[in-house]
Amino acid sequence: MTTTYRTVSIILLVAILGIAGWYAYQRFTARVPGIVSEEIVRDGDMWRADFTARIPAPPSKVFDAIRNIEHSRSAQLRGVRVVADRGSSKTVELEMAGLAGQTVKSTLEFDYFPAENRITYKTVASPMLDTRAEYQLSDARGGSTLLKLHQQTQMLQNVPLPDGLMKQVIRGIFVAQLEGLRRSLNLQFAEEPEEEVVVP
């Protein structure tokens, strides 16, 4: 009887500590800006990525910062030029840092849905990657925004890249997007490890 009581007490204590730890972690990630979660998986020749990040600014300001991508700057983003602006959509040409110091140009088309706090974009022209993505913004505690990005990326050329390198490229592009938002909104994020983004 005493052994059973001790076993049940230990199990109950472990469960309580586990639940308390999980709630503490959730509260911590609710306050700290930066990447909250990420998943990058390969599905045949398609790469699917889901990122969640906390931005310490209200959704309307984050939406406007993404909408005004031409003002975005990061270490990997060398230039942005608006090709067409139709109000609810915009086509832009991006110049990103590539391999061996080269510049890679890509043209993206953005569509804006302010009533839904949603922005989509797709590749119009790129030498290597075809991407379709969607940002979903939601109001979070403390005047911050939870930004969720779902994207699908496909290599346009049959270049044999190791899975680890492809994941680094996809993650690096998202980190560059966060850096652009941070600079546009004059924000402080949790420190991200310095990593070189290589766009194939």
User: Which residue ranges in the chain fall short of pLDDT 50?
Assistant: 5-32, 191-200
Both structure tokens of 129: 């990657």
Predicted local distance difference test score (pLDDT) of residue 196: 43
Predicted local distance difference test score (pLDDT) of residue 115: 96
Distance CA 77, CA 93 (A): 11
Domain boundaries, the chain: 1-31, 33-185
Predicted local distance difference test score (pLDDT) of residue 3: 56
Tell me the pTM: 0.75
Cβ neighbors of 90 (< 8 A, separation 6 or more) are 67, 69, 82, 84, 109, 110, 112
Phi, psi values for residue 187, rounded to 5°: -115, 165
Predicted local distance difference test score (pLDDT) of residue 186: 86
Predicted local distance difference test score (pLDDT) of residue 33: 63
Q: At what angle do helices 59-67 and 163-185 cross, to 10 degrees?
A: 110
Predicted local distance difference test score (pLDDT) of residue 116: 96
Options 3.30.530.20, 3.40.50.720, 3.30.460.10, 3.40.605.10; CATH of 33-185: 3.30.530.20
Q: Exposed e or buried b for every residue in 19-36, given b needs 16+ CB within 10 A? A: eeeeeeeeeebeeebbbb
Distance CA 66, CA 180 (A): 9
| Secondary structure element (H or E) that encloses residue 23, with its range | helix 2-31
